[in-house]
Chains A and B, each alone.
Chain A
Amino acid sequence: MPDARTGAARPARSHLWAWALMALVLVGALAIGRGDPGPPSDAQRAHDIATEIRCPTCRGLSAADSDAPSSQAIRDEILRRVQAGQTDGEIRAYLVSRYTVDILLNPERHGVAVLVWALPIVAGIAALGALILAFRRWRASPGVAVSAGDQALVDEALRR
């Protein structure tokens, strides 16, 4: 692998152009591909809410995924309220009052439940910070003194 050692430290200008062109194509394609979702239909909204509601009678499934009669009832209720013009929050609040708070598969972002959202972010930042600190320390470490004889041996080995 001679390239690892002899390569220029700075990429040539033509290289930058190649990457810039590619970035342009990629961003353009993604901009078209993002699509224009527009306002969701009532059925779509009702489905989206139902995916975040637990099926009350089965284990581990959402009301959107389950065939159980209780889930069917929840789906109908959500759709009725969506059509009546209620907001997502109002519908969720109704379902919580009708059942209990553990009907929500997506924990709320207040109260104790905020921990389940915040802890991974805190831990992630801490891990990244530790990594950056480690690299700083490694950079500051003196490294290994190489004698001229060793260096000659390495150069010899690389030439082969």
Chain B
Amino acid sequence: MNAALGTAGVALALSAAVLGMVTLAVGLRRGDPRLLSAGQRYVWLILGGAVLSVVAMEAAFIGHDFALKYVADNGSRETPMLYTISGMWSALEGSILLWSLILAGYLAVMVRHFRARAGDHLVAWATLTGFAVAAFFFGLMAGPANPFKVISGIVPADGQGPNPLLQNHPLVAFHPPILYLGFVGFTIPFAFAIAALVTGRVGEGWLVETRRWTLFAWGFLTVGIVLGAWWSYEVLGWGGYWAWDPVENASFLPWLTGTAYIHSVMVQERRGMLRVWNLSLLVSTFALTILGTFLTRSGVLDSVHAFSESNIGPALLGFFALVVGVSIGLIGWRGDRLRSPGAIDSPLSREGAFLANNVAFGAFAFVVLLGTVFPLIAEAINGDRLSVGAPYFDTMTAPVGFTLLFLMAVAPALPWRKASGELLHRRLLWPAWAATGVVVVCVAAGLRGLAPLAAFALGAFAAAAAIRQLVLSARAARRQGSPAWRGLLGRANGGMVVHIGVVVIAVAFAASHSYGQRHEFRLDPGQTAHLGGHSITYLGTTTVQHANKKTLSARVRVDGGQVYEPALQQFPFASQAIGSPSVRVGILDDVYLTLVAAPEGNTAAAVVGINVQPLIAWLWIGGGLMGFGTFLAAWPGRRRRPTQPSSAPAVASGEPSVTPVADEAPVAVGPHA
């Protein structure tokens, strides 16, 4: 029953996507607005199909319908409800299902948002592109990644449950959907970019239309990545939060290009320049979400030798190639309209800083991509098997990270067009003194090491520059008779809040990287170990038999206060016990406890791993600040909405079409405006 409903849902969504594409294509060809409108309404069938399949899948999980292979593999009668529900996205096929649901949701919101302009060819082409992406993902589920496969033969009485690591922390229920809201969200600006290229309306209109969609996706991607790091810290038990693992890199890559895009797009909105570059960044961001899914889901990188083991790989790789090929082709075809007349006067200007930012983010993305796929490249060249791990990424990305911190400090102080020395002096002197002051205080407090001190200095510099900007903006709001908090709203100010979040993360990263201490202690019951100014007393062990697992926890008292219980958990279908850490979270430092080796008896010694790392909690706080800042940046504020259609109609002469962009400053839109 569930299998039939789910399969029907996939079939419904797939055929609706294809029919919608055909209807839109015919409508575009005939220029018939009624057909365009009808074609866009297919989105509701796509959404209906997606919801039907997800409901069927969840019903199968909750009702323990082990006739479904996916449920038998990832659910069990003993799994708690939260992990039963999250079981849907704990393996490949269900992840594609979640992806498709979110995509259908985004497309439905998009169609509804633009319903008054359903006859506009730009919107129609964007919808068509969105439907094509949806058709691909529902096609995956109809073919190689079918989540509704039925077990042939006897239906098992119980399932295996999710991977043990995916059922011992509640973050597993939130991190994947939020991350996917980010990944999938880039489909909308991508669809509009393709539509702008196809219709030739490559002016700034489509950028303005998709600005909030991009921010929305970017914000969720950011929060999703931070939650992933948090999950990894709380669950994996090695005390770190970022291992440069291919899966992490795959989520980080679109973030890097997406971040470059939301900066450089401001140059285009303001000056009408960098059109090809912005289109390329946006297309890369979308393509990298597909490539990331390919790299991590096809098994190419998990084990370098299992290229042919998975059958979803070729489809994803083919789709990636299609996206890249079509985009490059369209950009080449529209090359004449994409040329922009403007010029950047001076490298010492806001737009110059954005260019430098783009070079840095581009380099960052290149290093991460190269390091991630290099094992494949090397093996292809001469059969060498080699690893590229954290030391490589740390070495190569550190200089880029420092550059970005520096740019974050200087760029907000730079005016558009050209800066004078006097102006820089006035705007940067106090932030720079703040940086110097922080270094002096840190050194006086006994902190040593060039890299962390440099990170703190640049962090303080950037934070002071951002705070200066916010204070000025709040004062300006007061002068206009609004409450000061209005000064936090809008893109520039919300962006500064995001910058502060980045600084908080950078400082926490540098501190935990440089000043962390770890040691393993063999402790008898009652014995106390000391590390990093903390005392850790081992009290004894407790064994608890849960429905889905057996937990052996060590009771450990930290600093004579609360007792923490790092544990080893034995799941029935897992060969090895899974360590689950316990963390004393603090504002200044975290004490991270793991049970490395269980004692032979209750009076014997246990090996307890202790990891004291400063400022870890600030990584998550910084992530929250970044999300909050994105929210502020997307806030409508007092910006006027453009009342004109997004882009001027295509002009036959091949002249680039230019529409004035509604912005807070109507001056200096660009020499051509």
Interface string of B435-475 (1 = CB under 8 A from A): 11001101100011110011001000000000000000000
The closest CB in chain A to the CB of B245 belongs to A60
A12 contacts B by Cβ under 8 Å: yes
Contact A8 B422 (CB under 8 A): yes
Residues of B within 8 A of A134 (CB): 344
Residues of A within 8 A of B429 (CB): 15, 18-19, 22
Q: How far, in angstroms, from A71 to B672 measured CA to CA in the complex?
A: 63
B484 contacts A by Cβ under 8 Å: no
Q: How far, in angstroms, from A43 to B448 measured CA to CA in the complex?
A: 19
Contact A9 B367 (CB under 8 A): no
Residues of B within 8 A of A7 (CB): 420-423
> A66 with B425: in contact, given A105-B389, A106-B392, A107-B386 (CB under 8 Å)?
no
Contact B386 A34 (CB under 8 A): no
Give, as a whole number of angstroms, the nearest-CB distance from B280 to chain A. Answer: 13
B387 contacts A by Cβ under 8 Å: yes
B485 contacts A by Cβ under 8 Å: no
Instruction: Tell me what chain B mostly uses at the interface: helix, strand, loop, or mixed.
Output: helix
The closest CB in chain A to the CB of B380 belongs to A112
Contact A101 B385 (CB under 8 A): yes
Interface string of A51-81 (1 = CB under 8 A from B): 1101000011110011100000000000000
Would you list which residues of chain A between 79 and 137 have a CB under 8 Å from chain B? 100-108, 111-113, 115-117, 119-120, 123-124, 127-128, 131, 134-135
Would you list which residues of chain B between 415 and 432 have a CB under 8 Å from chain A? 415, 417-426, 429, 432
Residues of A within 8 A of B374 (CB): 107, 115-116
Tell me which of B245, B378, B579 contacts A113 (CB under 8 A).
B378
Interface string of A31-47 (1 = CB under 8 A from B): 01111000000000000
Interface string of B236-278 (1 = CB under 8 A from A): 0111100111100000000000000000000000000000000
Residues of B within 8 A of A131 (CB): 355-356, 359
Q: How far, in angstroms, from A18 to B429 measured CA to CA in the complex?
A: 8
> A112 with B382: in contact, given A3-B422, A26-B457 (CB under 8 Å)?
yes
Give, as a whole number of angstroms, the nearest-CB distance from A149 to chain B. Answer: 16
Contact A105 B392 (CB under 8 A): yes
Contact B363 A116 (CB under 8 A): no
Contact A115 B433 (CB under 8 A): no
Contact B389 A4 (CB under 8 A): no
Contact A138 B363 (CB under 8 A): no
Binding site for B on A (CB under 8 A): 1, 3-4, 7-12, 15, 18-19, 22, 25-26, 29-30, 32-35, 51-52, 54, 59-62, 65-67, 100-108, 111-113, 115-117, 119-120, 123-124, 127-128, 131, 134-135, 138-139, 141, 143-144, 157
Instruction: Tell me what chain A mostly uses at the interface: helix, strand, loop, or mixed.
Output: helix
Contact B421 A4 (CB under 8 A): no
Q: How far, in angstroms, from A100 to B424 measured CA to CA in the complex?
A: 54
Q: How far, in angstroms, from A119 to B362 measured CA to CA in the complex?
A: 13
A sample of 25 cross-chain residue pairs with beta-carbon separation below 8 angstroms, ordered by A number, consists of A4-B415, A7-B420, A10-B421, A15-B421, A30-B450, A33-B439, A51-B391, A66-B238, A67-B237, A67-B520, A100-B385, A102-B385, A107-B374, A107-B392, A108-B386, A112-B381, A113-B386, A115-B374, A115-B378, A116-B374, A119-B366, A123-B363, A131-B356, A131-B359, A138-B345
Known: A33-B442, A60-B244, A120-B396. 13 other contacts (CB 8 A): A3-B426, A10-B421, A18-B429, A19-B429, A22-B433, A26-B435, A33-B443, A65-B238, A102-B385, A108-B386, A112-B378, A112-B384, A123-B363
A-B contact count (CB 8 A): 178
Residues of B within 8 A of A107 (CB): 374, 386-388, 392
Q: How far, in angstroms, from A157 to B666 measured CA to CA in the complex?
A: 11
B302 contacts A by Cβ under 8 Å: yes
Give, as a whole number of angstroms, the nearest-CB distance from A136 to chain B. Answer: 11
Give, as a whole number of angstroms, the nearest-CB distance from A160 to chain B. Answer: 11
Give, as a whole number of angstroms, the nearest-CB distance from B93 to chain A. Answer: 22
Tell me which of A60, A62, A119, A135 contacts B347 (CB under 8 A).
A135
Contact B436 A115 (CB under 8 A): no
Residues of A within 8 A of B440 (CB): 25, 29
Contact B362 A3 (CB under 8 A): no
Contact B387 A120 (CB under 8 A): no
Please list the 5 inter-chain residue pairs (A to B) with the smallest Cβ-Cβ separation, ordered nearest first: A105-B389, A35-B448, A7-B422, A7-B420, A138-B343
Tell me which of A8, A26, A66 contacts B421 (CB under 8 A).
A8
Q: How far, in angstroms, from A10 to B52 measured CA to CA in the complex?
A: 68
Tell me which of A22, A67, A100 contacts B436 (CB under 8 A).
A22
Give, as a whole number of angstroms, the nearest-CB distance from B469 to chain A. Answer: 13
Contact A67 B609 (CB under 8 A): yes
Give, as a whole number of angstroms, the nearest-CB distance from A26 to chain B. Answer: 5
Contact A127 B391 (CB under 8 A): no
Contact A15 B449 (CB under 8 A): no
> A141 with B387: in contact, given A4-B420, A12-B422 (CB under 8 Å)?
no
Give, as a whole number of angstroms, the nearest-CB distance from B440 to chain A. Answer: 5
B328 contacts A by Cβ under 8 Å: no
The closest CB in chain A to the CB of B373 belongs to A116
B109 contacts A by Cβ under 8 Å: no
Among A15, A105, A119: residue with most chain B CB under 10 A: A105
The closest CB in chain A to the CB of B371 belongs to A116
Residues of B within 8 A of A61 (CB): 238, 243
Among B378, B387, B436: residue with most chain A CB under 10 A: B387
The closest CB in chain A to the CB of B444 belongs to A29
Q: How far, in angstroms, from A8 to B418 measured CA to CA in the complex?
A: 13
B596 contacts A by Cβ under 8 Å: yes
Residues of A within 8 A of B450 (CB): 30, 33-34
Q: How far, in angstroms, from A119 to B243 measured CA to CA in the complex?
A: 22
The closest CB in chain A to the CB of B375 belongs to A102
B370 contacts A by Cβ under 8 Å: yes
Contact B347 A35 (CB under 8 A): no
Among B396, B423, B442: residue with most chain A CB under 10 A: B423
Q: How far, in angstroms, from A26 to B450 measured CA to CA in the complex?
A: 12
Contact B386 A101 (CB under 8 A): yes
Contact A11 B359 (CB under 8 A): no
Q: How far, in angstroms, from A96 to B171 measured CA to CA in the complex?
A: 38
> A127 with B381: in contact, given A18-B429, A29-B439, A34-B448 (CB under 8 Å)?
no
Contact B367 A120 (CB under 8 A): yes
B667 contacts A by Cβ under 8 Å: yes
B151 contacts A by Cβ under 8 Å: no
Interface string of B15-42 (1 = CB under 8 A from A): 0000000000000000000000000000
B594 contacts A by Cβ under 8 Å: yes
Tell me which of B385, B395, B422, B447 contacts A33 (CB under 8 A).
B447
Residues of B within 8 A of A104 (CB): 386-387
Give, as a whole number of angstroms, the nearest-CB distance from A62 to chain B. Answer: 6
Give, as a whole number of angstroms, the nearest-CB distance from A50 to chain B. Answer: 11
Residues of B within 8 A of A52 (CB): 389, 391
B671 contacts A by Cβ under 8 Å: yes
Tell me which of B419, B609, B671 contacts A4 (CB under 8 A).
B419
Give, as a whole number of angstroms, the nearest-CB distance from A40 to chain B. Answer: 13
Contact A103 B387 (CB under 8 A): yes
Residues of B within 8 A of A59 (CB): 245, 302
Q: How far, in angstroms, from A18 to B374 measured CA to CA in the complex?
A: 48
Q: How far, in angstroms, from A117 to B449 measured CA to CA in the complex?
A: 25
Contact B343 A141 (CB under 8 A): yes
Residues of B within 8 A of A35 (CB): 448-449
B390 contacts A by Cβ under 8 Å: yes
Contact A105 B385 (CB under 8 A): no
B81 contacts A by Cβ under 8 Å: no
Contact B355 A116 (CB under 8 A): no
